[in-house]
């Protein structure tokens, strides 16, 4: 796409599209911005909106919301001028519209969270709750803003809330948490461990590049780290495994069932966690190895979630974003971290 499109060229493009039958100005404006985004031409899309506003074209809520979202997409390169633009655009929007639809409200939240006016998002958040549930993007944006602004009580409260709604924190949460951890060097160990404890409590396995970011941070402060890959292949005869099953408290069972429905029916998060631990330590899981063979996965010897042993943390991680995938696969990638006593 051509850079630095002039106002005359924008006007020509817009008028040409308006000649198409049954195409409204709002559809044209949204379409042009979407085309810019398709090629990730964020600054071009911003320039088009400013062209519309500068020439007094009518701007509907959808176009304004999409414009605010553009700043979230370029959040890593925002200037103070950009942040002022976000606040002024939002204030102008609210002067015209007391209530916002959930999509526009989300656009406003994620953009405002990049400014010092981020606490205005609490009101917008309640607006969304009227018609729908908060999504992971909204939660993550507010949590990240809270950590950046040293309001950790708000961050942890919302992080717990989103986890209870079975939503996965986005990467921006963890990058902001690490920034928060490094603000006070004397508290970095406690703050890092607070996140590890959260992962342990909620059986979260972070993405590998998030885990790498934590590793890179703690090693700067004297932690020792080792990466481990565990082999989960068993050569045991499955028939022998069947034969060793016995009744009583030490009984094991063989099943293909992940028992999602049973866990869901418990309706109690601590009880669900205890059941999952019991399941992982008692179930032989039958898996298909190829078209003609199967193998038996043994019950786990170790807790398959982040846990602390003495002054060592053992944290599993995954190579993709399937942090909350329901599975009985034992995590084979782990980081073992020893906390520094100097901080």
Strand order in the sheet with 253-255: 253-255, 283-288, 294-297
The pTM for the full model equals 0.70
**Residue 301 in this model has a pLDDT that exceeds 70:** no
d(CA 206, CA 208): 6
Q: What is the mean pLDDT of residues 147-171?
A: 95
Contact in structure between 192 and 217 (CB atoms under 8 Å):
yes
Looking at residue 50, what is its pLDDT?
A: 93
Looking at residue 236, what is its pLDDT?
A: 36
d(CA 278, CA 82): 52
Give how far Cα 165 sits from Cα of 136, 149, 160, 270, Å: 10, 25, 9, 14
Q: What is the mean pLDDT of residues 306-310?
A: 83
Question: pLDDT for 61-76, tens place per residue?
Answer: 999 999 999 999 999 9
Distance spanning both ends of the chain, measured CA to CA? 52
């Amino acid at each position: 796409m051509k850079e630095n499109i002039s106002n005359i060229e924008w006007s020509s493009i817009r008028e040409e599209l308006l000649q198409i039958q049954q195409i409204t100005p709002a559809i044209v404006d949204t379409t042009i911005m979407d085309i810019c985004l398709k090629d990730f031409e964020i600054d071009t899309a911003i320039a088009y909106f400013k062209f519309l506003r500068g020439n007094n074209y009518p701007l509907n809520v959808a176009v304004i919301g999409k414009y605010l979202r553009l700043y979230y997409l370029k959040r890593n390169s925002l200037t103070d001028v950009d942040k002022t633009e976000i606040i002024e655009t939002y204030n102008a929007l609210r002067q015209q519209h007391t209530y916002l639809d959930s999509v526009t409200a989300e656009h406003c939240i994620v953009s405002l969270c990049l400014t010092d006016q981020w606490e205005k998002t609490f009101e917008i958040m309640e607006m969304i709750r009227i018609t729908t549930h908060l999504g992971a993007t909204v939660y993550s944006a507010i949590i990240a803003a809270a950590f950046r602004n040293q309001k950790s009580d708000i961050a942890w409260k919302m992080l717990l809330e989103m986890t209870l709604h079975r939503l996965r924190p986005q990467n921006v949460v963890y990058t902001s948490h690490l920034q928060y951890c490094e603000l006070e060097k004397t508290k970095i160990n406690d703050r890092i461990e607070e996140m590890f404890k959260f992962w342990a409590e909620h059986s979260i396995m972070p993405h590998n590049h998030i885990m790498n970011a934590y590793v890179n941070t703690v090693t700067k402060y004297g932690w020792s780290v080792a990466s481990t890959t565990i082999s989960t292949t068993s050569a045991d005869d499955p028939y022998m495994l069947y034969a060793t099953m016995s009744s009583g408290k030490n009984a094991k069972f063989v099943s293909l069932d992940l028992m999602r429905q049973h866990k869901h029916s418990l309706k109690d998060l601590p009880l669900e966690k205890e059941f999952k631990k019991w399941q992982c330590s008692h179930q032989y899981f039958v898996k298909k190895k190829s078209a003609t063979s199967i193998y038996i996965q043994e019950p786990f010897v170790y807790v398959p979630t982040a846990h602390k042993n003495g002054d060592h943390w053992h944290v599993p991680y995954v190579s993709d974003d399937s942090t909350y995938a329901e599975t009985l696969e034992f995590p084979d990638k782990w980081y073992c971290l020893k906390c520094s006593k100097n901080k």
